[in-house]
Amino acid sequence: ALYPIHKFFILNGELKTNDEFKPAENEGGVYEVIRIVDGKPLFLEEHLARFSRSAEIAGREIRYSGTDVSNYLQDLIRENKVYNGNVLVSCKVNLKAFFIAHSYPTKEQYRSGVECGLLHAERENPNAKVFQTTVRGRANQMIAEKGYYEVLLVDHNGNITEGSRSNAFFIKGSQLITPPSEKVLLGVTRQKVIHCARDLGIDVKEEEISLTRLPGFNAVFITGTSPNILPVSKIGITDFDVQNTLLRKLMKQFDLCIEQYVRN
């Protein structure tokens, strides 16, 4: 996933063809994955803000401004003539931006939900989006071996924090609950979902989600740049209602939110 697809990529502000791409060490580099919808980088301001914050937390310096990065993305989209997909912006020593392979969930997965596993693992600096191959590697291995869509990370206290590449939400009656901000990556999608929920008058709380609470939830979903909002049908031996009214209402509202962003 860390190779550019399509013809051009950006290296330190310059447009290059993909045969000039050198895969470099990424470990410790900060990055963003931004979804392009109809030629527009979705929720760009939020991604740029998190990119700076990650760099700050990781003690790295990015010598390019948000406006620079925004311009590079426009160049990348225009020159490749690709208007939908995922772009990786990463910075370790060099700043790179390129389209990466993605797999958005299928219609059937949105309809029937996906199964998630549980993995005892903690990300260092939860608030920073930094390439960390150990946790991601273990997660990917478990996903591949067991056929899960995602694995949810469980900390040393037995609390679910987030997915290996997504955030998690839990529904109990009319309550929407998500793990505490300081324990997770502040997903751009997570933030938007919280806004959507509040727009709908839904109460959102941050709480620890111990494994023992799982059977008490009506519905669970994960959020992220690729899945948006994706229902979870099963975690371990616990089943959840993928048709939950609140969940489906939120999914509709989120689609509207994207539509509005892209149109404006």
Residues that bind ligand PLP in the complex, under the rule CB under 6 A: 33, 123, 162, 165-167, 185, 187-190, 223-225
Contacts of 159 (CB under 8 A, 6+ apart): 179, 183, 208, 209, 210, 211
Centroid of chain to Cα 241: 23
Residue (of 2, 228, 240) closest to 105 by Cα position: 228
The distance of closest approach from Cβ of residue 186 to ligand PLP in the complex, given in angstroms and rounded to an integer, is 8
The distance of closest approach from Cβ of residue 187 to ligand PLP in the complex, given in angstroms and rounded to an integer, is 3
User: In this complex, which beta carbon is closest to ligand PLP, that of residue 159 or of residue 225?
Assistant: 225
User: In this complex, which beta carbon is closest to ligand PLP, that of residue 14 or of residue 124?
Assistant: 124
Q: Give the number of C-alpha atoms closer than 13 A to the C-alpha of residue 94, restricted to the C-beta side.
A: 14
The distance of closest approach from Cβ of residue 15 to ligand PLP in the complex, given in angstroms and rounded to an integer, is 26
User: In this complex, which beta carbon is closest to ligand PLP, that of residue 159 or of residue 223?
Assistant: 223
The distance of closest approach from Cβ of residue 103 to ligand PLP in the complex, given in angstroms and rounded to an integer, is 13
User: In this complex, which beta carbon is closest to ligand PLP, that of residue 72 or of residue 190?
Assistant: 190
Q: Is 112 left (phi over 0), alpha (psi -120 to 50) or beta?
A: alpha
User: In this complex, which beta carbon is closest to ligand PLP, that of residue 8 or of residue 167?
Assistant: 167
State both tokens at 199: 């727009």
Q: Nearest 10 degrees: CA dihedral of 125, 129, 133, 134?
A: 30
The distance of closest approach from Cβ of residue 104 to ligand PLP in the complex, given in angstroms and rounded to an integer, is 12
Evaluate whether 123 touches 58 at the Cβ level (below 8 Å). Answer: no
